[in-house]
């Protein structure tokens, strides 16, 4: 890695930034020396409370119980903070700009308009029996109504569970059942890159096995034909036409749940990550303002989908809490052509642009012409998230997209963390391409030597842990607190374990190396190897499967599956295709297996544990460095896999 290269903070950025270099140093120090004083000030500054808290922070990171509480006793409402409190000062200012999949289609909502929609939907939900604490599932295209739905839940105290519109009916069903949602909000179809996705049809399939869902509210997006269940289904536009615009925001306790969002782990089914109200909102608003150096009136665009945490925190809650203009994009980077992102930047005069390394790498492939055909002169700050960014892609983003003018903030965080934990601040942090740089205020990361279990001082590499809570931290796994403890607090007692590895250089900069558990990151989407393996073994021809990631030029990681067929089954290309299709139907198109290698046997220890380390090496074509193989039950298995490896 080109570690020597440093991009200093541009002086024009530093001059007007919220936080400059010295302010970062002193405020960071204050945030760790006096966390209660520091966070009380931030909570006061970023959030309007109906009632102040009794205690800023209380927590235990184990070993027995784990609990995390922020601003306990405080009362607030997230929708009130994102809407009502802005009405006097910026009611007629744009809140959401929506750019459709078709470049000729766009729309915007002012804060006043958004407020009215949210109130109406709040009343519709109430009229269908939704009460404070009830769960509502949202399975939607990227349209403003997705944000309206989230905010309407927040307004009446319901807990939303957004399921990414690319997930399969089975994945949707599992998530609805796990969190016991009684209402589903969806659309007839979504539209991406000119193609329709049949959301209502998928929903019908899922709901066939969810008898407790009594209402399915359907937004008309494309006008495509849908099946209808008169007792359960309700058109959004019809229900909204009759709804009142008066809907009082429900006063919520700071620690009342705000949302559940499912994410993949190393084992088992995806877990429902639970975030609460007060701490999450403080952290979302504060990180949005400082990480992007958001200045009043600027146009801000995060290209994520609301189905991921990035969409929750950095399309909806953070920006709207700050009274920002947030752009929501329905389409994809290469439709109608590879200039689309930059055309949208010019069209809406975007100042801050936040996307994923996988999109940058894909566009980099298409060359500089599609970028240079546009002006992009409005851009001031660029951001990336989702996976490690290679220095080459970083430099391309910086030089070609940003014309070497715009700082790139490489933001490291997770669904579990609610918001940015390690990130540069544009006016404060000299940048090193490929490094997420330094911790955000109040965040104390550390590296643990994985074999010794001891903390690493100074420069080094190890497992990335966080040593104390921050307000945006997840509070539990919905319905399974023990799983929360086991997943994040068992491996390195006393710390939150992120699942990532990282290096720290002599300047204290963090270089995230990627997951060190059995989680894959494919195009910035998180997938558990266990989930994919469970899907593969559903096939009657499959006896056993082991899945690992391997380096992929564009996706970051590709999915490599070793499959052992049942005795007597002929392993054919047709079977490979069936298996790829099976995984896509079970999980969704984001889980597309790239490579299947037939494995007569899998490398196991004498106690029967699959040695994934070896499988990863073979998949990466690094067969000369397999490491210690002395614990293998049958070494010939490995020789066979090497001889027939599929990625040479």
Q: Does 411 bind ligand WT7 (CB under 6 A)?
A: yes
Is the omega angle on the peptide bond into residue 63 within 30 degrees of 0, that is, cis? yes
Contact pick of 196, 414, 585, 621 for ligand WT7 (by CB under 6 A):
414
Q: Which of 281, 282, 309, 520 binds ligand WT7 (CB under 6 A)?
A: 309
> CA-based diameter of the chain, in Å?
74
Candidate ranges 21-29, 483-491, 507-515, 531-539; the one touching ligand WT7 (CB under 6 A): 507-515
Name the residue number minimizing CB distance to ligand WT7. 415
> What is the CA angle 22-27-30, rounded to 5?
135
Task: Tell whether residue 410 is a contact of ligand WT7 (CB under 6 A).
Answer: yes
Question: 355 vs 247, 329, 409, CA distance in Å?
Answer: 35, 12, 10
Among 500, 517, 518, 594, binds ligand WT7 (CB under 6 A): 500
> According to the annotation, is 99 in a ligand binding site?
no
Nearer residue to ligand WT7 within complex by CB, 210 or 512 = 512
Q: Does the footprint of ligand WT7 cover residue 514 (CB under 6 A)?
A: yes
Which range of residues in 148-156, 162-170, 369-377, 497-505 is near ligand WT7 by CB under 6 A?
497-505
Q: Report whether 645 belongs to an annotated binding site.
A: no
- Among 338, 415, 435, 564, the residue binding ligand WT7 under the rule CB under 6 A is 415
d(Cα 501, Cα 412) in Å, to the nearest integer? 12
Instruction: List C-alpha distances in Å: 44 to 256, 261, 285, 459.
Output: 19, 27, 12, 37
Q: Does 499 bind ligand WT7 (CB under 6 A)?
A: yes
Q: What's the closest the beta carbon of residue 416 comes to ligand WT7, in angstroms?
A: 7
Residues near 298 by Cβ (< 8 Å), separated by ≥ 6? Answer: 324, 325, 351, 352, 380
E strands in 428-555:
445-448, 460-466, 476-477, 496-504, 510-515, 519-522, 525-528, 542-552
Flag whether 523 is marked binding: yes
Q: Shortest Cβ distance from residue 348 to ligand WT7 (Å)?
A: 23
SS (H, E, C) 20-63: CHHHHHHHHHHHHHCHHHHHHHHHHHHCCCCECCCEEEEEEECC
Q: Which stretch binds ligand WT7 (CB under 6 A): 73-81, 229-237, 405-413, 469-477?
A: 405-413
Q: Is 310 annotated as a binding residue?
A: yes
**Complex with ligand WT7: residue 77 or 358, whichever CB lies closer:** 358
442 CB-near residues (< 8 Å, 6+ apart): 31, 32, 35, 38, 39, 470, 471
What minimum distance in Å lies between the beta carbon of 389 and ligand WT7? 7
- 53: nearest Cα among 41, 65, 66, 62: 41
537 assigned to a ligand binding site: yes
Q: By CB under 6 A, is residue 388 in contact with ligand WT7?
A: yes
Among positions 203-232, residues that touch ligand WT7 (CB under 6 A) are none
Tell me: does residue 333 bind ligand WT7 (CB under 6 A): no
> What distance in Å separates the CA atoms of residue 470 and residue 28, rounded to the nearest whole number?
13
**Residues 599 to 618: which contact ligand WT7 by CB under 6 A?**
none
In angstroms, what is the minimal distance from the CB of 167 to ligand WT7? Answer: 13
Residue 402 and residue 379 in contact, taking contact as beta carbons nearer than 8 Å: yes
Shortest Cβ distance from residue 396 to ligand WT7 (Å)? Answer: 16
411 in a known ligand binding site: yes
Select the residue interacting with ligand WT7 from 263, 473, 523, 529 (CB under 6 A).
Answer: 263
Tell me whether residue 577 is annotated as binding.
no
- Residue 500 known to bind ligand: yes
- Could you say whether residue 386 binds ligand WT7 (CB under 6 A)? yes
Contact present, 545 and 562 (Cβ < 8 Å): yes
Q: Is 589 annotated as a binding residue?
A: no
322 versus 521: smaller Cβ distance to ligand WT7: 521
Q: How many residues form the binding site for ligand WT7 (CB under 6 A)?
A: 23
Nearer of residues 215 and 423 to ligand WT7, judged by Cβ: 423
Q: Is 500 helix (H, G, I), strand (E, B) or coil?
A: strand
Nearest to 319 by CA among 345, 349, 292, 359: 292
Which lies closer to ligand WT7 via its Cβ, residue 417 or residue 565? 417
d(CA 444, CA 166): 35
Closest approach of ligand WT7 to the CB of residue 539, in Å: 27
Q: Does residue 487 bind ligand WT7 (CB under 6 A)?
A: no
**472 Cβ contact partners less than 8 Å away, ≥ 6 residues apart:** 275, 279, 280, 282, 283, 284, 287, 313, 417, 418, 419
Q: Is 161 a residue that touches ligand WT7 (CB under 6 A)?
A: no
Residues 256, 387, 395, 518: which binds ligand WT7 (CB under 6 A)? 387
Q: Which of 186, 498, 565, 597 binds ligand WT7 (CB under 6 A)?
A: 498
Interface residue with ligand WT7, options 115, 173, 221, 515 (CB under 6 A): 515
According to the annotation, is 415 in a ligand binding site? yes
**What would the 3-class secondary structure string for 541-588 be?**
CEEEEEEEEEEECCCEEEEEEEEEECCCCCCCHHHHHHHHHHHHHHCC
521 lies in the binding site for ligand WT7 (CB under 6 A): yes
Kindly state the DSSP code that residue 468 receives in the 8-state scheme.
S
Site string for ligand WT7, 421-460 (x = CB under 6 A): ---------------x------------------------
Nearer to ligand WT7, 111 or 397 (CB): 397
Neighbouring residues of 104: CB distance < 8 A, sequence distance ≥ 6: none
557 is in an annotated binding site: no
Does 166 bind ligand WT7 (CB under 6 A)? Our answer is no
Q: Please check whether residue 610 is in contact with residue 604, taking contact to mean a CB–CB distance below 8 angstroms.
A: yes
Q: Which of 42, 81, 190, 310 binds ligand WT7 (CB under 6 A)?
A: 310
Residue range at the interface with ligand WT7 (CB under 6 A); choices 11-19, 278-286, 306-314, 364-372: 306-314
Q: Closer to ligand WT7 at the Cβ: 90 or 526?
A: 526
Structure tokens at 599: 């494995």
Q: Which two tokens stand for residue 641?
A: 């896999």
The answer to whether residue 526 forms part of the interface with ligand WT7 (CB under 6 A) is yes
- DSSP-assigned letters across all residues of 507-518: TS-EEEEEE-SS
Q: In the numeric block, which tokens belong to residue 425?
A: 């601040």
Token code pair at residue 619: 């998949």
- What is the rounded distance in angstroms from the CA atom of residue 28 to the CA atom of residue 16? 19
Tokens for 433, please give them: 């391409």
Collapse the DSSP code of 487 into the 3-class scheme (helix H, G, I; strand E, B; otherwise coil) and give the result: helix
* Binding site per annotation, positions: 192-195, 310, 334, 386-388, 410-415, 500, 515, 523, 526, 537, 539, 542, 584
Point out the annotated binding site for ATP. 386-388, 410-415, 500, 515, 526
Q: Which residues are annotated as a binding site for Mg(2+)?
A: 537, 539, 542
- Binding-site sequence positions for CoA: 192-195, 310, 334, 523, 584
Q: Which residues bind ligand WT7 (CB under 6 A)?
A: 263, 308-310, 385-388, 410-415, 436, 498-500, 512, 514-515, 521, 526
């Amino acid at each position: 890695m080109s570690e020597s290269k440093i991009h200093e903070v541009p002086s024009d950025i530093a001059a007007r930034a919220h936080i400059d270099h010295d302010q970062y140093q002193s405020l960071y120090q204050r945030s760790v020396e006096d966390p209660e004083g520091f966070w009380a000030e931030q909570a006061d500054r970023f959030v309007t409370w109906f009632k102040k808290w009794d205690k800023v922070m209380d927590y235990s990171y184990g070993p027995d119980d784990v609990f995390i509480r922020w601003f306990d006793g405080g009362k607030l409402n997230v929708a009130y903070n994102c809407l009502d409190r802005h009405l006097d000062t910026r009611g007629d200012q744009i809140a959401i700009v929506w750019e459709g999949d078709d470049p000729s289609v766009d729309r915007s909502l002012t804060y006043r308009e958004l407020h009215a929609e949210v109130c109406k939907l709040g009343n519709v939900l109430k009229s269908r029996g939704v009460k404070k604490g009830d769960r509502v599932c949202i399975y939607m295209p990227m349209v403003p109504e997705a944000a309206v739905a989230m905010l309407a839940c927040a307004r009446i105290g319901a807990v939303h569970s957004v399921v990414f519109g690319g997930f399969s009916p089975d994945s949707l069903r599992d998530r609805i059942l796990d969190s016991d949602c009684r209402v589903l909000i969806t659309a007839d179809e979504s539209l991406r890159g000119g193609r329709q996705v049949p959301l209502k049809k998928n929903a019908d399939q899922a709901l066939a096995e969810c008898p407790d869902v009594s209402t399915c509210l359907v937004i008309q997006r494309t006008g495509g034909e849908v099946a209808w269940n008169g007792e359960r289904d309700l058109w959004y536009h019809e229900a909204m036409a009759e709804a009142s615009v008066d809907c009082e925001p429900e006063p919520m306790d700071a620690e009342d749940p705000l949302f559940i969002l499912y994410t993949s782990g190393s084992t088992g089914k995806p877990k429902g990550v639970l975030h609460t109200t007060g701490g999450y909102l403080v952290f979302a608003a504060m990180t949005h303002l400082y990480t992007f150096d958001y200045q009043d009136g600027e146009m801000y665009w995060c290209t994520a989908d609301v189905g991921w945490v990035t969409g929750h925190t950095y399309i909806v809650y953070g920006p709207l809490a700050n009274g920002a203009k947030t752009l929501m994009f329905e389409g994809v980077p290469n439709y109608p052509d590879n200039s689309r992102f930059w055309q949208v930047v010019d069209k809406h005069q975007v100042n801050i642009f936040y996307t994923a390394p996988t999109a940058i790498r894909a566009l980099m492939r298409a060359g500089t012409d599609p970028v240079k055909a546009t002006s992009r002169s409005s851009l001031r700050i660029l951001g990336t998230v989702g996976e490690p960014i290679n220095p080459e892609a970083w430099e391309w983003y910086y030089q070609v997209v940003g014309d070497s003018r715009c700082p790139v903030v490489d933001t490291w965080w997770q669904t579990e963390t609610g918001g940015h934990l390690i990130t540069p601040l544009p006016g404060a942090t000299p940048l090193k391409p490929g490094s997420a740089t330094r911790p955000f205020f109040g965040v104390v990361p550390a590296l643990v030597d994985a074999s010794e279990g001891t903390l690493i001082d100074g420069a080094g590499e190890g497992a990335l842990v966080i040593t104390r809570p921050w307000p945006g931290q997840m509070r539990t796994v919905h319905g399974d607190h023990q799983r929360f403890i086991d997943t994040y607090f068992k491996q390195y007692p006393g710390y939150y374990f992120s699942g990532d590895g990282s290096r720290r250089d002599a300047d204290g900069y963090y270089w995230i190396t990627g997951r060190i558990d059995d989680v894959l990151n494919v195009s910035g989407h998180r997938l558990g190897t266990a989930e994919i393996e469970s899907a593969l073994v559903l096939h009657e021809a499959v006896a056993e499967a082991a899945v690992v990631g391997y380096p992929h030029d564009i996706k970051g990681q590709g999915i490599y599956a070793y499959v052992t067929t049942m005795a007597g089954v002929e392993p054919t290309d047709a079977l490979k295709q069936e298996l790829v299709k099976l995984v896509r139907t079970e999980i969704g198109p984001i889980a597309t297996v790239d490579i299947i290698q037939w494995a007569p046997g899998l490398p196991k220890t004498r106690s029967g544990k699959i040695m994934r380390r070896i499988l990863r090496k073979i998949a990466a074509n690094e067969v000369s460095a397999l490491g210690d193989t002395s614990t293998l039950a049958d070494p010939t298995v490995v020789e066979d896999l090497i001889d027939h490896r599929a990625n040479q």
